[in-house]
Amino acid sequence: MIDEVVHIFLHSFIDSLKILPFLFIAFLIIEIIEHKFSEKSKKIIGNSGKFGPVVGAFLGLIPQCGFSVVATNLYVTRILSLGTLISIYLATSDEMLPIMISNNIDITIILQILLIKLFIGIFFGVLIDLLFRNKKTSVDYSICDEENCHCEEGVLVSSLKHTVHIFVFIFLVNFVITLIMETLESSIISSIFMRDSIFAPFVISLLGLIPNCASSVIITELFLNNAISFGSLIAGLLANSGMALLVLFKSNKNLKENFMVLGLLYFISVISGIIIMILS
């Protein structure tokens, strides 16, 4: 048991370590903008790009959790719009792609999954930006103030401080979640997900919301083992954004807004999964 805990500890640390460069880059971008750009330039960045959801969805297809973490930090500072953030979350594939490739899954199935996630990400991202177009989107650098980072210390020092704070938080939560998930037997997990039930996407999407790279691994493996349907697979992968939700709740002090993002992500994932199940 001790050996297993140690293994999970090391695995969680390595998983968390993978996003460390992305965390640093995100905070570095924020610091550079704060130190180097004028207020007018900040407003241009914060309000630029009606094509944000389109670009975001394409970038979100990259098979790693780092980009969604970067996007989360840029959203918290209002450099990205809500629609762009949601499009990135929906398109993010996390560990699905390398797992399917390593299992020699037909390339047409992989492309189908990616294209569906891309389309849904763009569609709902654009729709959300249209619905929330009147919402204030001014750039907000309260992360710096609330973390008491003393930005006068310089761009690199402030960025490193932010990175370390978030990294420690992610690692601790990642370790606890992985420990819990590793103790569950696969047979128990499979029976919970009601493979052909119309209610399955509700359950799989909840699993996808777990802020851990392991959730996308489990969802993909369940599909490969015929434990869940294609619609449920899409629902779970749409809801999964790696560890980005951890960063959102840690960095953004507006809990109402955080739960709105969470609710939108879950609702879109469930509805999309159900529609695909009906059409399949």
Mean pLDDT over residues 49-69, rounded?
75
Look up residue 84 and give its two tokens: 């762009």
Q: Which residue did the predictor score with more confidence, 228 or 116? A: 116
Is residue 150 scored above 50 in pLDDT?
no
Percent of the chain with pLDDT over 90: 31
In the prediction, which pLDDT does 259 show? 96
Of 30-34, 182-186, 226-230, 262-266, the range with the highest mean pLDDT is: 262-266
In the prediction, which pLDDT does 64 show? 54
Q: What does R_g of the chain's alpha carbons equal in angstroms?
A: 19
In the prediction, which pLDDT does 196 show? 76
The pLDDT tens digits of the residues spanning 38-50 come to: 444 344 434 446 7
In total, how many domains does the chain have?
1
How many Å apart are CA 192 and CA 187, to the nearest integer? 9
Mean pLDDT over residues 252-270, rounded?
95
Pick from 67-76, 240-249, 260-269: least confident: 67-76
Q: How far is CA 163 from the centre of its chain?
A: 17
In order of 53, 222, 234, 266, the CA distances from 278 in angstroms are 27, 20, 13, 18
Is residue 174 scored above 90 in pLDDT?
no
Q: Is residue 90 within 8 Å of 125, Cβ to Cβ?
A: yes
Q: Which domain holds residue 205?
A: 2-279
How many Å apart are CA 221 and CA 240, to the nearest integer? 14
Q: Is residue 89 within 8 Å of 68, Cβ to Cβ?
A: yes
Averaged pLDDT score across all residues of the chain: 79
In the prediction, which pLDDT does 234 show? 96
Q: Which pairs count as long-range contacts for 77-80, CB under 8 Å and 24+ apart, including other chains?
A: 77/30, 77/33, 77/139, 77/140, 77/141, 77/143, 78/46, 78/137, 78/138, 78/139, 78/140, 79/29, 79/30, 79/33, 79/45, 79/46, 79/139, 80/52, 80/56
Is residue 56 scored above 80 in pLDDT?
yes
Q: How many CB atoms lie within 10 A of CB 241?
A: 33
Rounded to two decimals, the pTM is 0.72
Is residue 113 scored above 90 in pLDDT?
yes
In the prediction, which pLDDT does 34 show? 58
Is residue 70 scored above 70 in pLDDT?
yes
Q: Which residue did the predictor score with more confidence, 275 or 170? A: 275
Is residue 273 scored above 90 in pLDDT?
yes
Q: Any idea what DSSP says for residue 63?
A: S
Is residue 118 scored above 90 in pLDDT?
yes
The pLDDT tens digits of the residues spanning 176-198 come to: 767 766 776 655 655 666 777 88
Of 154-163, 188-197, 205-214, 269-278, the range with the highest mean pLDDT is: 269-278
- Name the residue among 126, 28, 22 with its Cα closest to residue 69: 22
In the prediction, which pLDDT does 261 show? 96
In the prediction, which pLDDT does 238 show? 96
In the prediction, which pLDDT does 137 show? 47
Within 8 A by CB and 6+ apart from 135, the residues are: 82
The pLDDT tens digits of the residues spanning 14-43 come to: 877 877 887 788 677 767 755 665 444 344
In the prediction, which pLDDT does 271 show? 97
The b-or-e profile of 50-62 (16+ CB within 10 A means b, else e) is: eebbbebbebbbb
